[in-house]
């Protein structure tokens, strides 16, 4: 058994090195968005409860940040919790948000944020979150607000439709107050009212979704108009570095025309 595990580990590392060599000289995505899907199904298949699945998924999120920093990817946006997720059983919702709170507190103690100058921001209708979680996000956002080398966005209480509605309301308010004229409204102006207005590149070059599902589920609907999409047939808690590298390899093999 031990020998088999060692052989598997050896094969895995060899394949990982092979993928690293393959992507080394290709264009790296500047902004990667990931839809974290499959925590509950992973837990069910292992006869665990859903909370175990969400804890396992949280650990993978920590690793993905490492990979992005390792390969110089400037922006990472993780779709962690949608507004629709509030309709799940209250026990599960409370457990997920407790996990997010604990992981965010842990992130605040992470030396990587300061050594790599990572700005952290929660994007979504964060006013729907428990006050304690709002406070944790606010503190972390304030501590990293001056950083601009890397950006980590946590899409929570988020859907793309809500983001577009909220942006439209702000635009209407500014027009009503005389701060903006209808003639000034174009795509660039609209972007400035979105949750991602703080980003140098708000549009993800690559969007990855785990679990085998092939849809965006409301993730960055405005921003992902020309994103390359990769759907991984693996649950989020089992997402490995080789899955990440293969997604980048797929991205590099595509010819991006942006409608031209």
- Around 14, how many Cα atoms within 13 Å sit in the side-chain half-sphere? 6
Q: Does residue 14 form part of some domain?
A: no
Q: Does residue 201 form part of some domain?
A: yes
| The pLDDT value given to residue 260 | 67
Task: Assess whether 94 carries a catalytic annotation.
Answer: no
Residue ranges for the chain with pLDDT beneath 70: 1-9, 259-260
Q: Does residue 80 form part of some domain?
A: yes
| The pLDDT value given to residue 8 | 58
| The pLDDT value given to residue 205 | 98
Tell me which residue range forms the domain holding 146.
26-252
**87 close to 120: Cβ distance less than 8 angstroms:** no
Q: At 194, which CATH number?
A: 3.40.1180.10
The tokens 């509950």 sit on which residue?
40
Determine the Cα–Cα distance for residues 13 and 24; give it in Å rounded to an integer.
Answer: 16
Q: Does residue 258 form part of some domain?
A: no
Q: Does residue 181 form part of some domain?
A: yes
Q: Does residue 7 form part of some domain?
A: no
First to last CA, the chain: 55
What pTM value is reported for the model?
A: 0.94
Set 37, 39, 153, 203: catalytic member? 37
Task: Look at the chain and report how many structural domains it folds into.
Answer: 1
Determine the Cα–Cα distance for residues 179 and 158; give it in Å rounded to an integer.
Answer: 27
Determine the Cα–Cα distance for residues 3 and 7; give it in Å rounded to an integer.
Answer: 6
- DSSP assigned state of 233: S
Beta strand residue intervals within the chain, DSSP E: 31-35, 75-82, 118-123, 150-158, 206-209, 228-231
The tokens 């804890």 sit on which residue?
55
Q: Does residue 119 form part of some domain?
A: yes
Set 3, 49, 52, 85: catalytic member? 85
| The pLDDT value given to residue 233 | 96
Task: Assess whether 203 carries a catalytic annotation.
Answer: no
């Amino acid at each position: 058994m031990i020998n088999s595990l060692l052989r598997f580990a050896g094969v895995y590392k060899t394949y990982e090195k092979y993928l690293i060599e393959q992507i080394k000289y290709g264009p790296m995505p500047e902004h990667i968005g990931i839809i974290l899907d499959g925590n509950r199904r992973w837990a069910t298949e292992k006869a665990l409860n859903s909370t175990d699945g969400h804890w396992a998924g949280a650990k993978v999120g920590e690793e993905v940040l490492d990979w992005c920093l390792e390969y110089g990817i400037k922006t990472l946006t993780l779709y962690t919790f949608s507004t629709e997720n509030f309709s799940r059983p209250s026990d599960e919702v409370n457990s997920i948000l407790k996990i997010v709170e604990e992981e965010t507190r842990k992130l605040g103690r992470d030396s990587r944020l300061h050594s790599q100058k990572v700005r952290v921001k929660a994007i979504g209708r964060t006013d729907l979150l428990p006050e304690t979680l709002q406070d944790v996000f606010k503190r972390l956002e304030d501590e990293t607000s001056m950083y601009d080398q890397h950006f980590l966005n946590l899409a929570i209480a988020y859907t793309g439709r809500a983001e577009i509605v909220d942006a439209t309301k702000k635009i209407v308010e500014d027009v009503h107050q005389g701060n903006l004229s209808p003639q000034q409204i174009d795509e660039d102006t609209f972007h400035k009212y979105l949750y991602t207005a703080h980003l140098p590149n708000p549009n993800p070059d690559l969007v990855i979704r785990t679990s085998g599902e092939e849809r965006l589920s409301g993730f960055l609907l405005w921003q992902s108009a020309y994103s390359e999409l990769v759907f991984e047939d693996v649950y989020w808690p089992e997402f490995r570095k080789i899955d990440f590298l293969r997604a980048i390899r797929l991205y590099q093999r595509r010819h991006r025309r942006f409608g031209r």
